[in-house]
Homo-oligomer: A and B are copies of this chain.
Amino acid sequence: MATASSLFLASPVATAPTARARSTPSASPARPSLRLRRPSTLAAAAVQAEHQPAVAAAPKPPALPFRVGHGFDLHRLEPGLPLIIGGIDIPHDRGCDAHSDGDVLLHCVVDAILGALGLPDIGQIFPDSDPRWKGADSSVFMREAVKLMHEAGYELGNLDATLILQKPKISPFKETIRSNLCDLLGADPSVVNLKAKTHEKVDSLGENRSIAAHTVVLLMRK
């Protein structure tokens, strides 16, 4: 999915719009008419943060014994494109419109792992404004996330992913996808779960116009 976060490294041309913290009155719920701006450091901070090298920004996480993460991704389905799910090229009449290979499952697993670690997300590390990732195989992103996880001192506890798509049937490919996911994660099948649901023919997901995935992960301190 062209992620809003993928625009984290916004084009330098666009002047960074300034955001204003809302003054936060102690108890009274009524909002003050005059919204206090923080000093202009807010604008500077927003710009400065934006251009900091994505991966270095996150401070060293405290040694939590466990960390939870959630990833979500959605791609539009367009006729004639390949449908890659979990690194497996699934025969179908349409596939994902994306900068990379549009693998919603791998993207959302990557975001769940990076999210659990408090690290920059997939759009920050692999921005879709970077030609290097044009048509990229998402297993490249997966290997980076797994590397960062081990470097941060964590390993996968377990992972539970839910694919949402109306067609095609995923069941014939479930174990193949899961085993490829296990390979990429370096994890035992019993801690890597995948299930698929339809969207009952409603909305873009149910009308075969898009595909989405949710993943939750529990990481464990090594």
Binding site for B on A (CB under 8 A): 1-10, 16-22, 24-25, 27, 29-31, 35, 42, 45-47, 49-50, 57-62, 64, 66-76, 84, 87-91, 97, 100-101, 111-112, 114-119, 121, 123-124, 132-137, 139-140, 157-158, 160, 162-177, 179-180, 188-193, 195-204, 206, 209-210, 214-218, 220
Chain B residue nearest to A184 (CB atoms) is B24
Contact A8 B162 (CB under 8 A): no
- In the assembled complex, which residues on chain B have CB atoms less than 8 Å from the CB atom of A173? 19, 46
Q: CA A217 – CA B101 in complex, angstroms?
A: 30
27 contacts across the A-B interface (CB closer than 8 A): A4-B168, A4-B197, A19-B89, A19-B90, A19-B172, A24-B87, A24-B137, A31-B136, A46-B176, A47-B172, A49-B174, A50-B175, A57-B175, A59-B188, A62-B188, A66-B66, A66-B157, A66-B218, A68-B157, A68-B160, A70-B70, A76-B200, A76-B202, A115-B193, A118-B191, A124-B171, A202-B204
Secondary structure at the A interface, as helix, strand, loop or mixed, is: mixed
- In the assembled complex, which residues on chain B have CB atoms less than 8 Å from the CB atom of A163? 4
Copies, count: 3
Contact B116 A29 (CB under 8 A): no
Partner of A136 from B29, B157, B190 at Cβ < 8 Å: B29
- In the assembled complex, which residues on chain B have CB atoms less than 8 Å from the CB atom of A60? 190
Q: CA A74 – CA B196 in complex, angstroms?
A: 12
**Smallest CB separation, A125 vs chain B (Å):** 11
Partner of A160 from B116, B166, B169 at Cβ < 8 Å: B116
Contact A200 B136 (CB under 8 A): no
